[in-house]
A and B are shown apart, each in its own frame.
Chain A
């Protein structure tokens, strides 16, 4: 017997006739996956409320609207609900007039950072409203590109801009010092991506054409977090970095992991085993990196160009053990977690109403849910607010 392994494999592979793939089934399944992610993301963009929990707002708000709200404590132990409508940011019972349409915003220890409808970036502090840069223009197939990053416990913010030659650059601004910096991203030009994912303390995390880097935003020293083959770099996404813990997906939102390194991370969520569900933004770690929150959307139908998200639930996981912590979500509601108020309290937006291509809201409220007990209390009642007009502080610049 003198056959080679190669011969055996060649002969066997050639002996079988395969039916041609069903292109319609493939493209249909692909569209459902895309829509599940983007539909859920866009929905989360208009309804998710992220709360950030360090400092009180001391920027001369113009007074409350009479609703019962949780007001910032100012001692770092709590935070106020915030959301924006038009050019106004609502913070607990106070309002801040930015003077420019708020398309996306984030909170810092000093104030807020706002992206307007013309892609200009503004710093909003007690000293006033100052233009600090310009974000790269959005592209229809990339929701992630327009993303403001910040560490709520720090004064730095960042985004992806363009230099005069059109190359993508990462820009940062320190609201404490007023210092701006820019960092080159070699090889990244529109429409190639460079996404500024997160700031943890004073380290920025962004995508380059070769992987994910962590950059000391004071010294510029760069560390390669993970190197990724060219054709996979877009599948890898960093959701959140807190206290040195990184939450990410290596595979287009199918699997979510978290840990102190990419190599040593624990798998927390696997949507490959949950075919009718997908994650919704934002996916956020608690300030100590102990907990991970995300929304999970269930896609009920996806036909033609229309998909319907039937249900959204909040899920929280213990990063150390991988155990899921049940939250006390009201029956029949949609619940989308935002960011963390403190080490064990996550903000959740709870909606009663009909969800789908057109969203009908009967009432909406902001809840604060505590882990590991999972108990939730109402923090702010938004009533029958027109959710599509509401902007929430997750930093994402959703298309208008």
Chain B
């Protein structure tokens, strides 16, 4: 006899799922996998629903469940580590500026070639605008680990994308603080 208000949960799912899907998609780079990831995170949230009570806590819980679940999936199923487009790094120069569509595709594929922890850390830091401490809490790791994962990920991106404007870790910290 567990108190779970299904109507309230459904309302929460409806309100939060678009943003959850977007973040999950950026972390895993695949629409179907992102939907599975959100489904799993929401299932965990539903199990925890009676003790979360406050919808804001529920959203925070789900947002944390997504990266930890994603990292766990990739760790256990190494096949996932080979993302679409994985393979030899592209030429640093990339496609020509004239080909906009091809360039955007290529830019999107670059982060997807990163190891999952680096990718998740970068999405949380620069898409979700979380601080290093918040990112560490979401990933279930130390702040130092976040720093090293983000730095390594940005280094690899720089090597791939050339003059794509990438944030300096310290700069973005200040931006987040502001």
Q: Is A332 an interface residue (CB 8 A)?
A: no
Contact A25 B122 (CB under 8 A): no
Nearest-neighbour CB distance to chain B for A20, whole angstroms, equals 6
Q: Is B60 an interface residue (CB 8 A)?
A: yes
Q: Is B163 an interface residue (CB 8 A)?
A: yes
The CA-CA distance from A6 to B17 in the complex, in Å, is 21
- Given A21-B17, A29-B43, A273-B76, is A232 in contact with B163 using a C-beta cutoff of 8 Å? no
Q: Is A4 an interface residue (CB 8 A)?
A: yes
The CA-CA distance from A234 to B44 in the complex, in Å, is 12
Q: Is A331 an interface residue (CB 8 A)?
A: no
Contact B51 A234 (CB under 8 A): yes
Give the residue name and chain of the A residue nearest to B10 (CB).
A23
- Given A16-B31, A18-B21, A231-B57, is A5 in contact with B122 using a C-beta cutoff of 8 Å? yes
A202-213 Cβ-contact flags toward B at 8 Å (1 or 0): 000000000000
Contact A18 B26 (CB under 8 A): no
Q: Which of A4, A9, A141 contacts B2 (CB 8 A)?
A: A141
B-side interface size class: 35 or more
Give the residue name and chain of the A residue nearest to B46 (CB).
A30
Q: Is B74 an interface residue (CB 8 A)?
A: no
- Given A9-B126, A11-B104, A141-B2, is A18 in contact with B17 using a C-beta cutoff of 8 Å? yes
Give the residue name and chain of the A residue nearest to B163 (CB).
A1
Contact A272 B103 (CB under 8 A): no
The CA-CA distance from A254 to B124 in the complex, in Å, is 25
Kindly list chain A residues whose C-beta atoms are within 8 Å of the C-beta of B47: 30, 33-34, 252
Give the residue name and chain of the A residue nearest to B53 (CB).
A191
Contact A141 B107 (CB under 8 A): no
The CA-CA distance from A252 to B25 in the complex, in Å, is 25
Q: Which of A8, A18, A22, A235 contacts B34 (CB 8 A)?
A: A18
Kindly list chain A residues whose C-beta atoms are within 8 Å of the C-beta of B6: 23, 27
Q: Which of B10, B25, B94, B165 contacts A16 (CB 8 A)?
A: B25
B18-37 Cβ-contact flags toward A at 8 Å (1 or 0): 10011101100001001100
Give the residue name and chain of the B residue nearest to A35 (CB).
B2
The CA-CA distance from A30 to B13 in the complex, in Å, is 14
Q: Is the interface of A mostly helix, strand, loop or mixed?
A: helix
Q: Is A218 an interface residue (CB 8 A)?
A: no
Q: Which of B35, B127, B157 contacts A21 (CB 8 A)?
A: B35
Interface core residue of A6, A12, A234 (most chain B CB under 10 Å)? A12
Q: Which of B39, B52, B137, B166 contacts A25 (CB 8 A)?
A: B39
The CA-CA distance from A14 to B21 in the complex, in Å, is 10
The CA-CA distance from A27 to B4 in the complex, in Å, is 9
Contact B50 A141 (CB under 8 A): yes
Q: Is B86 an interface residue (CB 8 A)?
A: no
Give the residue name and chain of the B residue nearest to A192 (CB).
B51
A235-257 Cβ-contact flags toward B at 8 Å (1 or 0): 10000000000000000100000
Q: Is the interface of B mostly helix, strand, loop or mixed?
A: helix
Kindly list chain B residues whose C-beta atoms are within 8 Å of the C-beta of A11: 104
Nearest-neighbour CB distance to chain A for B102, whole angstroms, equals 12
Nearest-neighbour CB distance to chain A for B66, whole angstroms, equals 13
Contact B163 A6 (CB under 8 A): no
A74-116 Cβ-contact flags toward B at 8 Å (1 or 0): 0000000000000000000000000000000000000000000
Contact B46 A13 (CB under 8 A): no
Kindly list chain A residues whose C-beta atoms are within 8 Å of the C-beta of B107: 3, 8
Q: Is A10 an interface residue (CB 8 A)?
A: yes
Give the residue name and chain of the B residue nearest to A191 (CB).
B51
Contact B2 A1 (CB under 8 A): no
Contact A14 B22 (CB under 8 A): yes
Q: Please list the 3 inter-chain residue pairs (A to B) with the smallest Cβ-Cβ separation, ordered nearest first.
A: A30-B46, A13-B22, A18-B21
14 new A-B contacts, CB < 8 A, other than A1-B97, A13-B23, A14-B22, are A1-B94, A1-B162, A1-B164, A4-B164, A4-B165, A5-B111, A5-B166, A8-B107, A9-B127, A18-B25, A18-B38, A141-B2, A229-B64, A252-B44
Point out residues on B near A: beta carbons under 8 Å.
1-4, 6, 9-10, 13-14, 17-18, 21-23, 25-26, 31, 34-35, 38-39, 42-44, 46-52, 57, 60-61, 64, 72, 76, 94, 97, 103-104, 107-108, 111, 122-123, 126-127, 137, 157, 161-167
Point out residues on A near B: beta carbons under 8 Å.
1-6, 8-14, 16, 18-23, 25-27, 29-31, 33-34, 38, 140-141, 193, 229-232, 234-235, 252, 272-273
| Contact sample, A vs B, 10 pairs, CB 8 Å cutoff | A5-B157, A5-B165, A8-B107, A13-B127, A16-B22, A16-B25, A18-B22, A21-B17, A140-B3, A232-B61
